[in-house]
Structure 1
Amino acid sequence: MLLKDHKDLKAAITAIPEKEKDKLLLRLIAKDKVLTEHLHFKLLEDESDLEERHQLLKQEIDESVEMLDGMRKATSKDALLIFRKLNGRVNHHYKVTKDLNTEAELRLYLLKNIPAGYNESVLSPLAKFNDRLKTYFLRTTLALYKKYQKLHEDLQYDQKEEFNIVLKKLEKHDLTKAASELGLPKEV
């Protein structure tokens, strides 16, 4: 049921006394954690808080990649699990802050630092995870490229060098053909 389809309901809601409307609104907001966090950010935080969130998430990426590198026998399965978790954290950051610039920076930072593939044997049971890791890396890069194109020219220029590093990483892991089929350039 969409509110725009029921104009009589919309009119009834606007006619509710303010005190009762506030109670209903607070009950509604409490049911959605992301909405609650977004409203907190929008109403009670400022630019310094955005920068702090950005730095904390960057630090979390660094620590996770360092942990992955420190594993004695890290596999593509381990990398994929960490990659998905961190990508979800970046998604959550965007849902809360609605800041496209920091989202693009964080995703670019993640793609630049996370491994894109491992040299596992085709006969290894982990080979399927290596393929999944490469596919996930490629799809994340494509999604970022689409957002990158929507950024302001100045922001594109600032992130151009790092984005090219990610595109070279695709080439290094034999994903150039798949990348070009998806419409990713060799260089931005």
Structure 2
Amino acid sequence: MKLAEHKELKAAITALPVKEKDKLLLRLIAKDKVLTEHLHYKLLEDETDLDDRKERIKTDVKEQVSDLQKLNAKEALVKVRKMITSVNHFYKVTKDPLGEVELKLFILNIIPFDYKKSIFGYRDFMILFTTFYVKTVAVTLNKFKKLHEDLQFDLSEDFNNLLHKIYSSKLAAAAEASNLPKEIS
């Protein structure tokens, strides 16, 4: 049920006494962890806290990347998905598109491509890893294009490094099939 479709309900809610509204609001917020964290960020944090959040994610990624080389493609895929998920959560909380693109570029640039092939199992997880990686790059590129041109200029070198890394690896065919550019200007 959408609130916009029920104008009487909206009017009744706005007519409630402030104390009652506060109670209802607090109950609703408590049911959604992301909303709670978003409100905490918006109301109680500032620019330095945003930088701290970014640095925490970068530190976590750096710690996990050293272990990635030892894993097979399936285990690496799971870890990389968790890293990207942490950036998605960061964006849901902070609504910072620049930080989201910046962090995804950092992760995508630092992740190695060569993993052990699993001896057991019938699936080739390197194909799944490649698909996930290339799709993530494509999504990040779309978000990059929506940024202000000055911000794009600041991040273009990192993006071009990423594209060069992809096209000089065994992921080149998948990137080409996905129409990823070889360079951005």
TM-score (norm 1): 0.91
Aligned residues of 1:120 and 1:127 also touching (Cα < 8 A): no
In the alignment, the residues of structure 2 paired with residue 4 and residue 126 of structure 1 have an alpha-carbon distance, to the nearest angstrom, of 50
Distance 1:87 1:178 in 2: 20
Deviation at 1:60, TM superposition (A): 0.5
Aligned counterparts of 1:14 and 1:176: Cα–Cα separation in 2: 56
What is the distance in 2 between the residues matched to 1:176 and 1:12? Answer: 58
Please tell me whether the aligned partners of residues 117 and 134 of structure 1 are also in contact (alpha carbons under 8 angstroms): no
In structure 2, the CA distance between the partners of 1:151 and 1:126, relative to structure 1 (3 Å rule), is: farther
Deviates more, 1:152-161 or 1:81-90: 152-161
Q: In the alignment, which residue of structure 2 is the partner of 1:139? A: 135
Deviations 1:13-37 (A, max 9, x none): 1111110010000000000000000
Partner of 2:153: 157
> For residue 104 of structure 1, what is the amino acid of its counterpart?
V
Deviations 1:85-142 (A, max 9, x none): 1111001111111101111110000000112343749x87476110000000000000
Q: SS of the residue aligned with 1:55?
A: helix
Partner of 2:83: 86
What corresponds to 1:13 in structure 2?
13
Instruction: Say whether the 8 Å CA contact 1:76–1:118 is kept in structure 2.
Output: yes
Structure-2-length-normalised TM-score: 0.92
Which of 74, 79, 89 pairs up with 1:77?
74
Paired residues of 1:170 and 1:176 also in contact (CA < 8 A): yes
**What percentage of aligned pairs have identical amino acids?**
51
State whether structure 2 residue 171 is matched by structure 1 residue 171: no
1:186 corresponds in structure 2 to 182
Asked if the contact 1:65/1:114 (under 8 Å) is kept, the reply is: yes
Superposed CA deviations along residues 34-69 of structure 1, whole A, max 9, x for unmatched, are: 000000000000000000111111001100101223
- Is residue 98 of structure 1 aligned with residue 91 of structure 2? no
8 Å Cα contact 1:90-1:106 kept in structure 2: yes
Distance 1:50 1:145, change over 3 A: same
Contact residue 117 and residue 173 of structure 1 kept, 8 A: no
1:3 partnered with 2:3: yes
After TM superposition, where is structure 1 displaced by more than 6 Å over at least 4 residues in a row?
none
- In 2, Cα distance between the equivalents of 1:168 and 1:124? 33
For structure 2, which runs of at least 5 residues remain unmatched after alignment? none
Match of 2:22 in 1: 22
